[in-house]
Amino acid sequence: MKGHACHNFRRMYQHLLYATRDSIATITVNRPLVRNALSVATVKELAAAFDQAKTDPAVRVVILTGAGDKAFVAGADISEIADLDEVSGAEFSRQGQAVFDSIEALGKPVIAAVNGYALGGGCELAMACTLRIAAETAVFGQPEVKLGLIPGYGGTQRMPRLIGKSRALQFLLTGETIRAYDALMLGLVDSVVPPESLLSKAEALAQQIASNAPIAVKLCMQAVNLVRLSDEAALFGKACGTEDMKEGTKAFLEKRAPQFKGR
């Protein structure tokens, strides 16, 4: 990534850092003194930052990480949860779910670069991303039952999809943590790297994805999330109708690199 020009499509955030380089936006949860805990204000800023990445035509891939070397996101801000009742608790959960759902359905791949603790809401945030790369020091878990709670930001749905129902229940019901290489074996993360290589690995993967046709990438993600195979044919047809598909096939036949324009 060195030596490339940055384009400064920026907005100031209190709890996040947002930067773009080439076709990659990097969003960093920046609350290291509280292990990047997810306050309500931080979740709102995440919604705004991902919307910024979504609407920036220059951004093709997003990397999400945490500040410092201790935590990706160590959980929710418990002080904000302690006084919730049944009604306010349900609303609290719905607001977070809406933000995490918007990350999952962004239309652009989101790579979680998990640099430390990803517990509770932090684990749920990582699971809402498209792909997950973990530092060897990363630790995952949904310890909510230890607080008399359950995951409220999608963890009870996304963890079973990623690692299977029975294994997910083991971690959801015990609250025990999962170390990086165990997370890799379970399928919770896609690769594990030394901490010092985490961001460069995420950037390399992001560049690899960004070099492909953006509409095809978006349609591919939509197709994976489909319930019916017949819907895949409609999305395949949609891809066939793009300028990028014409350019990609033409470039292949002409033995040259394609120039994708996202049209």
CA 135/CA 193 separation, integer angstroms: 5
Distance, C-alpha 152 to centroid of its chain: 17
Q: How many Cβ atoms sit within 10 Å of the Cβ of residue 247? A: 16
- Given the residues 144, 196, 203, 247, the one annotated as active site: 144
Q: Which of 134, 30, 132, 123 is nearest to 74 (CA)?
A: 123
CA 34/CA 31 separation, integer angstroms: 6
Q: How many Cβ atoms sit within 10 Å of the Cβ of residue 196? A: 9
144 is annotated as an active-site residue? yes
- Given the residues 45, 86, 124, 136, the one annotated as active site: 124
Q: CB of 58 within 8 A of CB of 20?
A: yes
List active site positions.
124, 144
